[in-house]
Structure 1
Amino acid sequence: MSVAVEIFGFFVAALGLLMLGLTLTHSNWRVSSMDGNIITTSAIFENLWYSCASDSLGVYNCWEFPSMLSLSGDIQACRALMITAILLGSLGLFLGVVGLRCTNIGGLEPSRKTKLAATAGALHLLAGVCGIVAISWYAFGVTRDFFDPLYTGTKYELGPALYLGWSASLLAILGGTCLFSNCCRSREEDHGASIRLPYKDPAMPAKSLAARLPTSASDEEDDSSFGKYGKNAYV
């Protein structure tokens, strides 16, 4: 059962990592709202890297953000957290492939494979936390500007990429938890098995038992009486 949980956690974490990569490249992190805005284009959508505007005919133009240093601190922090999440998840995926007990890569001992799998689970946990913090931070900025009555710029709503990122982060956390907890449980079981005393058979060998038994009185009398008579007495 523990091997099945380990495999389940690995594939769930891998799926979360894939979805985090799709979230980072998704173009609809926030979408312009039509509520109370008069805009010439039908929609404006942005992500962490560029902004796009489309007209009613479906033609859209995109332009990248000119300078990273000129961006707001929120976007810079979200970029760093998302990239960190993907790097941690990729490293966790590699260690998970090596550390799974159902694989035989590198010829490692079971104890070392357990440590690698636990490390992979911890990395996936950190990746999920980084992803969920980045997306929640970005969503907070969008909702703050939307409900601010003094904000005069274009108001945006939450895009579908944020929901995809939340799901990806939860999957990464779930997979990392399964890997980490299952490996820690298996380490406790192995430690409990290693401290058990070896079973020793209480039965003594027949020779040692016979040597320890005292000789009976009848045997001693027979041996001593045998020497009192000559050989002719027994003919």
Structure 2
Amino acid sequence: MRKRLFQILGFLVSTLGWVFVSCTMAMDYWRVSQIGGQGGSFIIKVAWYWSNLWKDCFIDSTAVVNCRDYSVLWSVTPYIQGVRGLLMIGLGLGFVGAILAFVGMECTYIGGSEKIKDKILFAGAVFHFIGGVSDISGYCLYINRIARTAFNPNLDPTSLRYDIGTPLFLGLVGAFLILVGAVFYVVTVFRVIFPETKVVYTYSSRSCATPRNRSKSLYTGYYRSSRQSRMSRQSRKSMESSLSKSSDLSKISQITAEEISDRDAFV
């Protein structure tokens, strides 16, 4: 029951993480920059510049939006291409991992025997983990680009300094949930796939012996041999003494019988 509960929890958490990552691909305001906004009693004039993976946009105080879409694939900035590729690779691996996890869960009745289902679930967890790492790499690459521009002291004053937008935070949370779901999967099947190896210690009969077999141990062989010989000699002496006593008694009985018979004859 606990195994099934952890697997369902891992599936829900990882699926929620992939939903977050998928939403960030289409969201705006990956990076945001603001100009103006110093208010007073007059009309506030402010402009926002923001970008995502597909376009650059400008919004003024009248809420008019002007955007420039990235025209062709090979004319986009290289780091944008890298972020796109990492996120798409992560989504593809996550899709395969979700299918494998669904087949390998204990609460589903497809996939074969229990051991085969555990192996399938472990493979799904590996796909989730690699996909989550790929997504984190993409977000970190984009954040690094923003940070390098924002904290560059030699930047031209007329250039824009962007801030990190909401989709990046949401994507990092989603990637973290994906990794947590993969950990839940692995916890439920790790002991089944990789069982503990039992170490068996063997002892020779001479080094360790039970009380019933003490005669075969080094202890008895060294310390009790003289004692046993003494006991055997004592038993032999006792047997010899008993035999001598019995012979003496037989002699006495014979003598007394002869004396009595002679006396009776004399009488």
- Give me the TM-score of the superposition, normalised by structure 1: 0.74
Gaps of 5+ in 2: 37-44, 199-267
Larger Rg: 2
Residue 141 of structure 1 aligns with which residue? 145
Give the CA RMSD over aligned residues: 2.2
Q: CA deviation at 1:78?
A: 0.6
Assess if the C-alpha contact under 8 Å between 2:87 and 2:138 holds in 1. yes
Q: For residue 80 of structure 2, what is the amino acid of its counterpart?
A: I
Report the Cα distance in structure 1 between the residues aligned to 2:106 and 2:184, rounded to whole angstroms: 14
Report the Cα distance in structure 2 between the residues aligned to 1:161 and 1:33, rounded to whole angstroms: 17
Report the Cα distance in structure 2 between the residues aligned to 1:20 and 1:57, rounded to whole angstroms: 32
Report the Cα distance in structure 1 between the residues aligned to 2:170 and 2:94, rounded to whole angstroms: 16
Gaps of 5+ in 1: 193-235
1:172 aligns with 2:178: yes
Q: Taking CA–CA contacts closer than 8 Å with sequence separation of 6 or more, which of the two structures ends up with the larger relative contact order? A: 1
Report the Cα distance in structure 2 between the residues aligned to 1:34 and 1:175, rounded to whole angstroms: 41
Q: CA deviation at 1:67?
A: 2.4
Q: Equivalent residue of 1:92, what SS? A: helix
1:51 aligns with 2:52: no
Assess if the C-alpha contact under 8 Å between 1:29 and 1:47 holds in 2. yes
1:131 aligns with 2:135: yes
Residue 6 of structure 2 aligns with which residue? 5
Residue 42 of structure 1 aligns with which residue? 47
Out of 91, 94, 103, the residue aligned to residue 98 of structure 1 is 103
Deviations 1:53-110 (A, max 9, x none): 111122212221122222222111111000011111111111111111101135x111
Q: For residue 88 of structure 2, what is the amino acid of its counterpart?
A: I
Q: Equivalent residue of 1:42, what SS? A: strand
- Give me the TM-score of the superposition, normalised by structure 2: 0.66
Q: For residue 128 of structure 1, what is the amino acid of its counterpart?
A: G
Q: Equivalent residue of 1:63, what SS? A: strand
Residue 25 of structure 1 aligns with which residue? 26
Q: 1:150 to 1:33 in 2, by over 3 A?
A: farther
- Shifted more, 23-32 versus 61-70: the winner is 61-70
1:190-209 → structure 2 map (5 Å cutoff): none
Runs of 4+ displaced beyond 2 Å: 149-153, 185-192
Out of 62, 65, 68, the residue aligned to residue 60 of structure 1 is 65
Deviations 1:32-59 (A, max 9, x none): 1448xxxx86111111111121111222
Deviations 1:206-225 (A, max 9, x none): xxxxxxxxxxxxxxxxxxxx
Q: Size of the alignment, in residue pairs?
A: 188
Q: For residue 130 of structure 2, what is the amino acid of its counterpart?
A: L
Q: CA deviation at 1:191?
A: 9.7
Assess if the C-alpha contact under 8 Å between 1:119 and 1:180 holds in 2. no
Deviations 1:163-200 (A, max 9, x none): 001101100111111112321123346999xxxxxxxx
Assess if the C-alpha contact under 8 Å between 1:85 and 1:128 holds in 2. yes
